[in-house]
Amino acid sequence: MSVISNHMPTAELQALDAAHHMHPFTSNAALAKRGARVITRADGVYLTDSDGHQILDGMAGLWCVNVGYGRHEMAEVAARQMKELPYYNTFFMTTHVPAIALAQEVAKLAPEGMNNIFFAASGSEANDTNIRLVRTYWSVKGKPSKTHIISRKNAYHGSSVGSGSLGGMAYMHAQGGMPIPGIHHINQPDWWSEGGDMSRDDFGLARARELEDKILELGADNVAAFIGEPVQGAGGVIVPPDTYWPEIQRICRKYDILLIADEVICGFGRTGNWFGSQTYGISPDIMTVAKGLSSGYQPIGGSIVTDEIAEVMGSTEFMHGYTYSGHPVASAVALENLRIMQEEKIVEHARDVAGPALKAGLETLADHPLVGEISIKGMMASMPLTPHKESRAKFAAERGTVGTIGRDRSFANNLIMRHVGDRMVVSPPLVITEEEIDVLVSRARKALDETYQIVKDEGLLKPAS
């Protein structure tokens, strides 16, 4: 057995990685040429790579490390739980203390009347649960024809066949036989890219009413549910117009369609409330959670449901579950994460301190020649890059060309800022301080300045015609 240590030369680690490791959402041949960045440790909001760079993690890992890195309490809880009961399942009439305690705590934090959770090990798994759950729910209620699920283009709900089908990423659907039948995608509420001459509010209403059109087209008796992220994350932090969610809620109620809020990113403080649904004043029937539930320290997710759904589902045997549903170590760590969130008032910090500071900081970038606007809700934000602000023009170059330059310049300036197409995205740990936000913004500005220079030099500052 070889011993892989943090002290091996970076090039050696990269060569081994390239030889044996297939990365998600990556062209592995291209990565092998360039060499993956090797992250060796992390503390607070800073990552350290194998060359010793201190990198500010403006993405909280993948939108998940809400309490920041280096929380030894979490490690201690995990070690204790592993010694006491490293694994047991929750099938076959058994349970264990960590799953009980976490389910109770989630019920306490979730909106009124949502007192049950079905556990999974990830957001993808939880959304797969939701597909079968909503169809089974309607079938038990004597409406087995209600099977169709409506989602949005450019939504992200996971990468398994079911959750990837719920998602609306065309480039994902192009590979491997997705979407599965019975899933439909309406247009997203992305005013900046697709709003044309409409006001934001009119556009929000128009996009919400596409749900009504789709329900009428399919027949309400055939529609089980609508699913949406309160704020689309992986799609580029698309903050919907204020008119959008109330209208979606109204339509779901009118036609007796279940509303699934995918809270995998928005949940547990990201938008400044415990759940994005609260930020938008909606009452979903199901909330998908993962990521922030454990701050990424352990893989865990789940579907939080209303009491009515729990009761209906409880009247039958739901032939569904995962080996790691309610995994004891993951549950114990998630519970510790929720304790830290509450004791340190991290949601309040996100709402009252870090969120406003991030907004103020990013707004100083709004007049940068490349930045179209600052799109922000709580602690998730994006900046669409544009060759022409007034017309909200896209670049003539292939989508993502300029965004990739922006991402690379961020990395070069020791800031993790992601790109989605030509949008730059940030979603830092919720615990980030005002001083650290200043560092984030100044590195982002430098990255944008360098990107602008490159874009100009390479003749890419041309709007698409």
Q: Which of 97, 106, 79 is nearest to 328 (CA)?
A: 97
- Which is nearer to ligand PLP, 64 or 439 (by Cβ)? 64
Q: Does 378 bind ligand PLP (CB under 6 A)?
A: no
CB of 250 to ligand PLP, least distance (A): 23
Residue 236 token pair:
């580029």
| Upper half-sphere CA count for residue 216 (Cβ side, 13 Å) | 7
- Which is nearer to ligand PLP, 92 or 171 (by Cβ)? 171
- Interface segment toward ligand PLP; rule CB under 6 A; list 50-58, 156-164, 183-191, 273-281: 156-164
Q: How far apart are CA 408 and CA 415, in angstroms?
A: 10
CB of 216 to ligand PLP, least distance (A): 27
Using CB under 6 A, which of 158, 162, 269, 361 touches ligand PLP? 158
CB of 318 to ligand PLP, least distance (A): 20
Q: Does 185 bind ligand PLP (CB under 6 A)?
A: no
Using CB under 6 A, which of 50, 124, 295, 331 touches ligand PLP? 124
- Measured torsion, CA atoms of residues 281, 286, 288, 289, in degrees rounded to the nearest 10: 70
CB of 327 to ligand PLP, least distance (A): 14
Residue nearest to ligand PLP (CB): 123
- Which is nearer to ligand PLP, 159 or 442 (by Cβ)? 159
Residue with tokens 């579907």: 303
- Which is nearer to ligand PLP, 158 or 361 (by Cβ)? 158
Q: What secondary structure letter does DSSP report for 398?
A: P
Q: Does 47 bind ligand PLP (CB under 6 A)?
A: no
Per-residue three-class SS string for 1-23 = CCCCCCCCCHHHHHHHHHHHCCC
Q: How far apart are CA 323 and CA 89, in angstroms?
A: 6
- Which is nearer to ligand PLP, 251 or 265 (by Cβ)? 265
Using CB under 6 A, which of 90, 122, 243, 410 touches ligand PLP? 122
- Interface segment toward ligand PLP; rule CB under 6 A; list 82-90, 118-126, 276-284, 441-449: 118-126
| Type of residue at 433 | T
Q: Does 156 bind ligand PLP (CB under 6 A)?
A: yes
SS3 assignment, position 415: strand
Q: How far apart are CA 334 and CA 98, in angstroms?
A: 9
Using CB under 6 A, which of 57, 128, 229, 247 touches ligand PLP? 229
* DSSP result, 332-363: HHHHHHHHHHHHTTHHHHIIIIIHHHHHHHHH
Using CB under 6 A, which of 162, 204, 233, 284 touches ligand PLP? 233
Q: How far apart are CA 149 and CA 215, in angstroms?
A: 10
For the four alpha carbons of 75, 76, 82 and 85, in that order, the dihedral sign comes to negative
Q: Which of 252, 442, 459, 447 is nearest to 361 (CA)?
A: 442
- Which is nearer to ligand PLP, 420 or 441 (by Cβ)? 420
Binding residues for ligand PLP, total number by CB under 6 A: 16
Q: How far apart are CA 359 and CA 377, in angstroms?
A: 9
Q: Which of 75, 123, 462, 165 is nearest to 286 (CA)?
A: 123
Using CB under 6 A, which of 117, 259, 265, 379 touches ligand PLP? 265
For the four alpha carbons of 394, 395, 397 and 399, in that order, the dihedral sign comes to negative
- Which is nearer to ligand PLP, 157 or 327 (by Cβ)? 157
Q: Does 448 bind ligand PLP (CB under 6 A)?
A: no
Q: Does 277 bind ligand PLP (CB under 6 A)?
A: no
| Interface contacts to ligand PLP, rule CB under 6 A | 122-124, 127, 156-158, 229, 233-234, 262, 264-265, 290-291, 301
